[in-house]
Structure 1
């Protein structure tokens, strides 16, 4: 009996199975990087609002950088951030901050919540998304519920706050 065709079929099935898991890992890694990039952009806006320079090094206009000379330099550009946030890390961050007691939040967390509440009062797509995240966070028992709702974002609010402090100056 010839077992060679059976062995090739078995190896083919195992190969497809392994490739399927690899593809999942690549997609999740891409979403994670997108979330980190979004936090970096949020940190730049936050840094410009606090007049701390915004991190990111260099003063030139590189790809993906925005000019700080814009007329709305004291606002976070939520439309830009949310439209480029496939993992929904910004919404998860806002939700997790809103789910915590205000006494537990540091200065950065309190400032982000204040800026978000001001932005959520406007009539735009981004403000509706922010308002939804705020409301869910305020009704959540703990921040882990927000992480379950926004399950594609693997970062906790503490991690994102640390990134904001690092990139935001």
Structure 2
């Protein structure tokens, strides 16, 4: 079983440097389940890194950041803290590695792993 009950989809349209987003669907995430299986705090590291500006040109990163912004009020305190740290570390992503030293992965690597996992599950 996945920790998400519905697939989060959002239409993203690029027009030059402008990105327009529409049509988000509701998603229920089992945050406690995810966190209980993440002893190295990689989810928090990913949130921190993305909110600090890592992978800002990635469509997947933009979708995750938008999702987090819209749902941070229902996320656990650990995710909220990572979110706040990321905003505070804007432009200094390397500080997230200090905050979450047991997760050695960059946001780029974690996004690739998530994409691979998603493609594997849906194919």
**Please, what TM-score do these two structures have when normalized by structure 1?**
0.53
How many residues of Structure 1 are paired with residues of Structure 2 in the alignment? 102
Could you say what secondary structure the match of 1:152 adopts? coil
More strand per residue? 2
Q: Which has the higher contact order (CA 8 A, sep 6+)?
A: 1
Equivalent of 2:41 in 88, 91, 96? 88
2:66 maps to which residue?
Answer: 114
1:74 to 27, 32, 36: 27
User: 2:49, 2:96 within 8 Å by CA — same for their partners in 1?
Assistant: yes
SS in 2 for 1:164: helix
Looking at structure 1, the residues matched to 48 and 88 of structure 2 have their Cα atoms a distance apart, in angstroms, of 10
Structure with the greater alpha carbon radius of gyration? 1
Any gaps of 5 or more consecutive residues in structure 2?
Answer: 11-25
* Equivalent pair of 2:6/2:27 in contact (CA under 8 Å): no
> Which protein has the bigger helix share?
1
- For 1:98, which of 51, 61, 70 is the aligned residue? 51
Q: List runs of 5+ in structure 1 lacking aligned partners.
A: 1-40, 52-72
The 2-side partners of 1:127 and 1:117 are apart by 13
Query: In 2, Cα distance between the equivalents of 1:46 and 1:98?
Result: 24
Query: Are 2:111 and 1:152 equivalent residues in the alignment?
Result: no
CA RMSD of aligned residues (A): 2.6
